[in-house]
Structure 1
């Protein structure tokens, strides 16, 4: 059986399987053994993409690489003065016993490393600054 559900404003098509011998006792209720798989419903035609703009110089806030998660600095890979390309490894964070690679979001020379090994960082905290 397929159902369409709206969660946080997004529509999902859900496949529901009812095991034999189970019956639904209340209208609109799922049996406790029902299994569901959610698939996002995409619009038939995606929104048009805006034309590409000419590159502009990066503002000072765009030159700062920020932590996407809370964690502890496990390893600093990049060095001050090193030139990095987009997605080059910058820092490794440890969060919930898992290592997360923080990569460069832009090409450029590393001007400052703003954290140290063992330091706890919060989401949005500045990790490094590019020249």
Structure 2
């Protein structure tokens, strides 16, 4: 699946990660649902996210954060979803619940505390 996610990263990058270019939700020939979401955070910051949802409902996200595309895997939570970057050295976290989201960063250090990068993010309903 990581190979598929990296392929999707390349596709998304070639499109410039433009939310208007990507369809809101499509299903690939192999049954993976690709969902595009644009969150608007504090100070009007745009946070584009592409979700990849497999038939078994495992989920991945590709997030455009601070000028780079960050592939993430989902860790289920009791309420909402927590996506964690595959790269532990660049360990961003995306938290979603309904139409709300926030982004944190946890440095690869046992004593590190998570820092909030973006908060108060809401799905852009005009995009849907």
Same structural fold, with TM-score higher than 0.5 when normalized by the shorter chain? no
Greater share of strand: 2
Larger-Rg structure: 1
TM-score, with normalisation over the residues of structure 2? Answer: 0.22
* Structure with larger RCO (C-alpha < 8 A, sep 6+): 1
TM-score (norm 1): 0.22
